[in-house]
Chains A and B, each alone.
Chain A
């Protein structure tokens, strides 16, 4: 049976919060932070690795000072939106400490886990374990294939890496090699040790900062597609400069973690002729960013957000054709 967490764990009483309660409806409360940290302080019977339980004779006193320190030094911050616990007295003391948003089925499953994790130590440990497993899976996918590199050379090792991730590779003068639906691919390319890789399509692959090691060894790479890669971020973009002499085409469309700060490092790729930076949700002003990138890379064709989309027309200006940039 999952060890339940006491009611008092979840609520935190604080004169400070009560004082501000009348002011705003969506004030973030520190109570969830408090409750969670207090739970972490208490030794849980199911967590075997916490060998020493809370040995303070007045366990209450220790937590009280801790909580008090945190309250006074840590005024409520907007980290989450939380429904106020003292909501007109309807919920009373045992109100929910977190808003459960009724979204799609998948989200419902996730927030149920969240709900349970707030209340049971076992579920919290399980959730942490699942998160850690997910992170280590990505790490495992991005491990370097040193034995293949030593035996067959960097081109083959890089190609194998991409194919294993689910991407596609094209050697110079050959056709695209793709894994089939089940992820299997033929190992014919192992004999192409001296043939450089010209194009890599890593769209949707879980390639991250470490995984780029294998890609950067492909010195004659001309075309790199990193569309919709969930782990490609600004740090990864700063690593691309070794490919500057050969890379002509780069696509970053749909990468959720790429922002305009990473795009500034594409300046090193002086041979770049085609750059696709459309659909980047982390970029704060897509239109302006596109203009700045175009200025930064004058000989490159930049596909991106429409630069007029953020502009508002004045009342006296006529509506223009916003399909593309006006010719100079």
Chain B
């Protein structure tokens, strides 16, 4: 103990000199000494960083009201809406734990950034409409004093969904639902499609639905940075670490109907610091799982999925990692400025990128050819075999194209019904667009959505009564 204090005293604390500095101080070191003296004075003044023993600035706080696991657009969105609710400043302490601050594998920044209202489920349409409203008024929502306004580079070019004979009836139904909710979508016959977009080959297309307004694509990185900036200014704490353990306590409780159940409550989160064995236990009241593609793993830490199969406890969270490729190619004779986000009946999609005749696109692989999600390596053969042929068939100009680059990203695939899960985990397909409205809607609705987040063992009955299947574009 004494030796440790001595070592620390001789170390680089503000009160001790390191062994490397000379006594007597030469003129050459004057600036260094000046800055050291300034540092000492500043640390003593109120508001400074001063810990006499050692620097703990990288550790999260010892307690926090809400811990959000995952700092992507979903986690930051939850933090934002939580902070908007508090009336006195600093009433809720929110901690966002994100293990990779460069977001190198986060789905948010690797996504193609599209937003559309063309869904088959009315709730999804409503979520999208709210999101587009948020994006349009983003500078009112996310305004930070003295910072320049955000420009998310929104391209209002719309989505064009093509349907074959099989899917035409489903598409018509979907459009009816969308129009009821207020989306501006128009249906086009192959004739009209050829008039509007002469570069399309309408062979095999029976019907097309085109979103006229509120649809397009934007830059999700800008959105992420804007949210981060705003959320930091509202006082949310950030921590670079990984959640490794949940400590919970169980109580025997009686439900309203008199049944005795074991209620498990998480009261502590262990956050392991990056590149170190050190961890900090954080006491908390609420944990929000916003880890995207890794939500299943985080849920397992909480014990969801560990239990006898067939029971509630034994049912895993139906979210898993799926790898998707995105390719960027150049085609000088390709479609022009008016190109919308086109989705082919075969599942291939593409959109314009910039002004230089570059296009982004890809295809969802079938269940059999799902790539191994262990890494983010790109399979270029996939483009040759599965993406290029349908593209070239749909847009003849794409027969001569040159792939410039490609990347892979993870989808947090909901194996249950490919929709958003109320625990705010993520969704296959639409990506970032619903992540803004999901937290808002679930918080403001007076139903049990709020309770879902507070309970430790999520009621899968709530998940199952969630949106019925069918949000994928009709094939």
Contacts and interface: CB of A to CB of B under 8 A. Distances in A.
A121 B39 CA distance: 27
A234 B156 contact: yes
B420 to A, nearest CB: 25
B156 A52 contact: no
A11 interface: yes
A289 interface: yes
Interface in B155-169: 155-158
Given A13-B48, A263-B337, A69 B235 contact: no
Nearest to A41: B235
A288 B60 CA distance: 50
Interface stretch (A59-67, A143-151, A153-161, A199-207): A59-67
Given A41-B90, A295-B337, A60 B145 contact: no
B256 interface: no
Interface string A25-42: 000000011001110110
B34 A89 contact: yes
Interface string B35-51: 10011011101111111
Interface in B175-233: 212-214, 216, 225, 228, 232-233
A67 B355 contact: no
Interface residues of B, number: 56
A122 interface: no
Nearest to B235: A41
Interface residues of A, number: 67
Given A18-B35, A295-B336, A295-B337, A60 B46 contact: yes
A179 B214 CA distance: 34
Interface in B342-380: 352, 355
A237 B47 contact: no
Given A65-B237, A261-B156, A285-B355, A13 B42 contact: yes
B101 interface: yes
A284 B355 contact: yes
A72 interface: yes
A13 B43 contact: yes
A241 B212 contact: yes
A73 interface: yes
B424 interface: no
Interface stretch (B115-123, B146-154, B261-269, B465-473): B146-154
Contact of B338 (A50, A89, A238, A264): A264
B260 interface: no
A309 B101 CA distance: 42
Contacts of B327: none
Interface in A1-58: 6-9, 11, 13-15, 18, 32-33, 36-38, 40-41, 43, 50-52, 54
A176 interface: no
Contacts of B309: none
B336 A72 contact: no
Nearest to B12: A15
Interface centre among B49, B88, B337 (most CB of A within 10 A): B337
B215 to A, nearest CB: 9
Contacts of A32: 146
Given A13-B38, A13-B48, A72-B240, 10 more contacts: A7-B45, A18-B39, A32-B146, A33-B233, A52-B91, A67-B49, A68-B57, A70-B238, A264-B156, A264-B338
Interface of A: 6-9, 11, 13-15, 18, 32-33, 36-38, 40-41, 43, 50-52, 54, 60, 63-74, 77, 79-80, 86, 89, 93, 114, 124, 128, 135, 209, 234-235, 237-239, 241, 260-265, 267-268, 284-285, 288-289, 292-293, 295-296
12 contacts: A52-B90, A60-B47, A64-B51, A64-B57, A72-B58, A73-B238, A135-B140, A260-B337, A260-B355, A264-B156, A296-B336, A296-B337
The 9 closest A-B pairs by CB, nearest first: A68-B57, A238-B156, A267-B338, A73-B238, A8-B47, A13-B42, A52-B88, A261-B155, A292-B337
